[in-house]
Amino acid sequence: MIKKGINASPGIAIAKAIVYVKKELDIVRRQIDDVAAECARFDEAVAQSREQLSALQAKTARELGEEEAAIFEAHAMFLDDPEFVGAIKTSIESEQRNAEAITQQIVDQFYAMFDAMDDPYFKGRAADIRDVGNRVLHNLMGIDIMDISNLSEDTIIIAEDLAPSDTAIMDKAHVKGFATDIGSRTSHSAIMARGLEIPAILGLGDITATAQDGDTVIVDGSAGVIVVNPTAGELAMYRDKQRAYEVYMAELAQLKDQKAVTTDGHEVILSGNIGNPKDVEGVNHNGGMGVGLYRSEFLYMDADTMPSEEKQFAAYKTVVEDFRDREGVIIRTLDIGGDKKLPYLPLEEEMNPFLGLRAVRLCFAKEDLFRTQLRAILRASAFGKTRVMFPMIGNVSEVRQAKALVKACMAELDREGVAYDRDLEIGIMVEIPSAALTADIIAKEVDFFSIGTNDLCQYTLAVDRMNQTVSYLYDPLHPAILRLVKNVIEASHKLPDKFTGMCGEMAGDPSATLILLGLGLDEFSMSASSIPQVKKIVRSVSFEEAKAIADEALTMETGDEIRAMIEAKMAALGIQIL
């Protein structure tokens, strides 16, 4: 069976499928007659859970380190806690109810208790108790836990969608590709796939219903095609394509140490987007000159409690030191809200969270949290070129408010005698149309812009990029988007020593490279795996040719017209993209 979807990350993967579907547990309350047998059944489920957690802890420590493995040790501690385990067994005896119902009941009670606490550490335990309880319940009910953190063989994940929390824990050594029912090129599963340099196809509609565990699956992320249970002929054909792609990537790898300079000498900076220090390897491997977007929220999302100033400082410092002699690192401050949530930072439900308390707005509301992060970033800046960037800025007043907090943190560090870069550059992500339209005003207050096209497209075109039914309207080459990008770049270039970068997925889209180059974009920051292709395009054209292409694109009326024109221009220039 062959299905066509959205080509979210290039390459070809061939492996067995795992259908990753999270099912709600149907827990029924019932009376029991044999209390001793029920308690013994519960003890067995606890022992099984303890063994699973021990295996996960050992594997995680071996592959990622002791710090990352500590979460599983914390989970196991609940299984040794006489108050938690004892409360369940006592209630089984006193209420004479089945272990599943009592376990759910006590877990809910403990969750509510921890979640109501003011201390962030104890509040963070609420998510832990929920996870532990869920594991025990699965074992009580004899239901296999869909665990993608500890795989035994190469796998392609088939899912409705993959949340950031899923991709954070998955076994990255064995997951060779994704295929999902929903999503777009800008969804988190697509971004993660490109970061891991593995093929991904999204928006397949019903792949979770048509593929089964153990099916042989081919994911052609370049063409957006998935083949389930291929014939011998199809398998042979795609193995040939896989080898051809590997040859193509080997040719691109030869550009690793070459600059991104046009045929007439115009140079741009190609940087990588990262979520944690481990991602630096991919940027270096692909010839990135710096980090144009350090998504600091992943440091929070990978933790079970609010990361301390010391933990953040250590993570930022590691990356900053790596790029000390190159273009440096742009750290985006915490961008939580919308589709990204923290279990230990409860927020009120909102009618439209993408337009609500998120990103810098949340940081203003949680000033202590914000100050902790700003202090960590400032301290890291003493070890190499560091820039700080504020997301979700809508007006110049917010820029001034954020800068005032930076100055306050600088004053604190001065009093403490702590070193930092006194010339730290401050910028904003341009992802709200109001910021793009008033870029000339905001430019006076910042050192740089970085255009976040994922949200800029969403907000400008009134398209929920995660909504499959309207995703066809999401188009980074829409004339409105190109005009906003042009306005931002020109606003920065009218003032001395200002620059504009782009860290949205458009920066790594080969169909947009010639236009962005011609518009005068200074820095392209993207998933590391996209750097070689973009570099090849930049080195294949003159700046004057790119400017003419951009000018022509700005006269066109639809994204489809622009895309067709780009394809023709690339063909004429002999630029081939696989």
The predicted-structure confidence for 126-150, as pLDDT tens digits, reads as follows 767 887 898 899 899 988 777 787 7
Strands 386-390 and 425-430: parallel
Highest mean pLDDT among 150-154, 271-275, 337-341: 271-275
Question: Range with the lowest mean pLDDT among 93-97, 464-468, 521-525?
Answer: 464-468
Residue 162 makes CB contacts below 8 A (sequence gap 6+) with 20, 178, 180, 188, 189, 192
Average pLDDT over residues 289-301: 92
State yes or no: 358 annotated in a binding site.
no
* Confidence at residue 121, expressed as pLDDT on a 0 to 100 scale: 54
Average pLDDT over residues 563-574: 95
* Confidence at residue 313, expressed as pLDDT on a 0 to 100 scale: 97
Question: Range with the lowest mean pLDDT among 14-23, 212-221, 372-381?
Answer: 14-23
If you search the block for the tokens 């509301």, which residue do you land on? 365
Average pLDDT over residues 325-344: 85
Q: Which amino acid is at 140?
A: L
- CATH class label, 155-250: alpha beta
- In the structure, what pLDDT confidence band is assigned to residue 560 with cuts at 50, 70 and 90? very high
Per-domain boundaries in the chain: 24-141, 155-250, 256-573
Average pLDDT over residues 389-408: 98
Average model confidence (pLDDT) across the chain = 90
Greater confidence (120 vs 456) lies with 456
Tell me the C-alpha distance between 315 and 294, whole Å: 11
Q: Which amino acid is at 157?
A: I
Over 60: is that where the pLDDT of 80 sits?
yes
State yes or no: 371 annotated in a binding site.
no
State yes or no: 115 annotated in a binding site.
no
CATH number of 256-573: 3.20.20.60
Tell me the C-alpha distance between 233 and 69, whole Å: 44
Q: Is the pTM of this model over 0.85?
A: no
State yes or no: 229 annotated in a binding site.
no
| CATH domain 24-141 topology | Enzyme I; Chain A, domain 2 (1.10.274)
Average pLDDT over residues 493-498: 96
State yes or no: 29 annotated in a binding site.
no
Cα-flanking dihedrals φ and ψ of residue 21, to 5°? -120, 125
Question: Range with the lowest mean pLDDT among 109-113, 164-168, 401-405?
Answer: 164-168
Tell me the C-alpha distance between 125 and 78, whole Å: 10
Residue 407 makes CB contacts below 8 A (sequence gap 6+) with none
- In the structure, what pLDDT confidence band is assigned to residue 122 with cuts at 50, 70 and 90? low
* Confidence at residue 278, expressed as pLDDT on a 0 to 100 scale: 84
| Cβ proximity of 528 and 282 under 8 Å | yes
Over 70: is that where the pLDDT of 451 sits?
yes
Q: How are strands ordered across the β-sheet holding 12-20?
A: 2-4, 225-228, 216-220, 12-20, 155-159, 175-180, 200-202, 6-9
* Confidence at residue 439, expressed as pLDDT on a 0 to 100 scale: 98
Over 70: is that where the pLDDT of 214 sits?
yes
In angstroms, what CA-CA distances link 529 with 14, 46, 181, 508? 19, 43, 24, 9
The DSSP symbol for 307 reads P
Tell me the C-alpha distance between 573 and 448, whole Å: 32
| Cβ proximity of 126 and 115 under 8 Å | yes
The predicted-structure confidence for 160-212, as pLDDT tens digits, reads as follows 887 655 665 688 889 999 999 988 776 767 777 877 788 999 989 899 999 99
* Confidence at residue 65, expressed as pLDDT on a 0 to 100 scale: 61
Highest mean pLDDT among 67-76, 120-129, 322-331: 322-331
Catalytic sites, residue numbers: 188, 503
Percentage with pLDDT > 90 across the chain: 65
The predicted-structure confidence for 63-77, as pLDDT tens digits, reads as follows 556 655 666 777 888
Question: Range with the lowest mean pLDDT among 126-130, 328-332, 407-411?
Answer: 126-130
Percentage with pLDDT > 70 across the chain: 94
